Amino acid sequence: MAFGQGVIWYDGEFVEWEKATTHILSHVIHYGSSIFEGIRCYKTTKGPAVFRLVAHIDRLYDSAKIYRMEIPYSKEEFCENILETIRRNKLEECYIRPFVFRGYGSMGVNPLGNPLNCAVAVWNWGKYLGEGALEKGVAAKVSSWNRPAPNSFPSLAKAGGNYLNSQLIKMEAVEAGFEEGIALDSNGYVSEGSGENIFLVRNGVIYTPPTSSSILAGITRHSVFILARGLDIRIEQQFIPREALYIADEVFFTGTAAEVTPISKIDNITIGEGNRGLITKKIQEEFFGIIEGKIEDRHKWLTFV
Ligand code: PMP
């Protein structure tokens, strides 16, 4: 099913795509009060499989806890609803968007008087940063917008409102002719892309900002830690000054949508040789090998639909 077709799971029922609506005075529309996940289901040699479903659902429930939302389903029920949504839409591969939002009830800022709505939508979604990006890499720009300070928005929650910051970063980058923006944290250290975590490689060691640099704790990021260790590549979490990006041998983004995408230029400075580096390639080979079912799923990351 393409975007705009099929059925959506909405508060316990499967409804036609165009009937999955909410009132314009819903709390979420005015105040960004939603939490969500982005998950991918891959076509493997053994049928469709969801990548790291349990980790994504754990993060959804963590986001809910931070925002005092009591999801009226168990994690197991939520996972099963996701799998059933994919089955009903007869998809072999897709992007999965589970979300929970404060619905229609009262219009004050206090969200607690509003109902909580839950939904799961799925659709086909190609390469997020453009065809060819996985090999050639993308050009990025350090944003003039910072990530929110730790005492302003909780970055560990994947909440709708956080993405106003991401939109500013993305729009600025795209309008200046770059594929993506890289934001610094409120102390000036490298944080992340508008929808991706960032890694650099120097002298054979991989570095990435810690969760205290206002990042989302990415599931792909976590997967890269495990893959790097399996390949005997040292990987460190460290505060990263902006200029460390320029002098890195390799830089890459990770994310459910972006997967593992090399960055070839930052602020018009060529990174390394200006194409995909060797360590980035090794991580990609492991990552895509597992999700395509060509390398054994030794970490039990796949849930078959
Ligand atoms: N940071 C932000 C701001 C994101 O939106 C995403 C995408 N969910 C990521 C990082 C990467 O997280 P994940 O690997 O879990 O998709």
List the catalytic residue out of 65, 75, 136, 158.
158
Q: According to the CATH classification, is domain 7-123 in 3.40.50.300?
A: no
Residues 68-106: pLDDT tens digits? 999 999 999 999 999 999 999 999 999 999 999 999 999
User: Given this model, what pLDDT does residue 283 score?
Assistant: 98
User: Given this model, what pLDDT does residue 201 score?
Assistant: 98
User: Is residue 128's pLDDT more than 90?
Assistant: no
Domain ranges within the chain, ordered by starting residue: 7-123, 133-291
Is 158 an annotated catalytic residue? Answer: yes
CB burial of residue 279 (10 Å; 0-12, 13-18, 19+): buried
User: Is residue 129's pLDDT more than 80?
Assistant: no
Residues with CB under 6 A from ligand 1: 38, 166, 192, 195-197, 216, 218-221, 254-256
- Other CB atoms within a 10 A radius of the CB of residue 80 amount to 12
Compute the distance between CA of residue 55 and CA of residue 254 in angstroms, rounded to an integer: 16
Q: What percent of the chain has pLDDT over 90?
A: 94
HSE of 20, CA atoms in CB hemisphere, 13 A? 21
Q: Which of 50, 54, 211, 216 to mutate to test the pocket of ligand 1 (most atoms within 8 A of CB)?
A: 216
Residues 262-274: pLDDT tens digits? 999 999 999 999 9
Residues 283-294: pLDDT tens digits? 999 999 999 889
Please tell me the residue having the least CA distance from ligand 1 atom 5.
195
Tell how far the Cα of 51 is from the centroid of ligand 1, in angstroms: 14
Q: Which residue has the tokens 């005015």?
A: 30
Structural tokens at position 242 = 């902006």
User: Given this model, what pLDDT does residue 127 score?
Assistant: 73
- Other CB atoms within a 10 A radius of the CB of residue 229 amount to 11
Residues 146-199: pLDDT tens digits? 999 999 999 999 999 999 999 999 999 999 999 999 999 999 999 999 999 999
How much is the average pLDDT of 216-236?
98
What are the backbone angles phi and psi of residue 272, rounded to the nearest 5°?
A: 55, -125
The CATH topology of domain 133-291 is D-amino Acid Aminotransferase; Chain A, domain 2 (3.20.10)
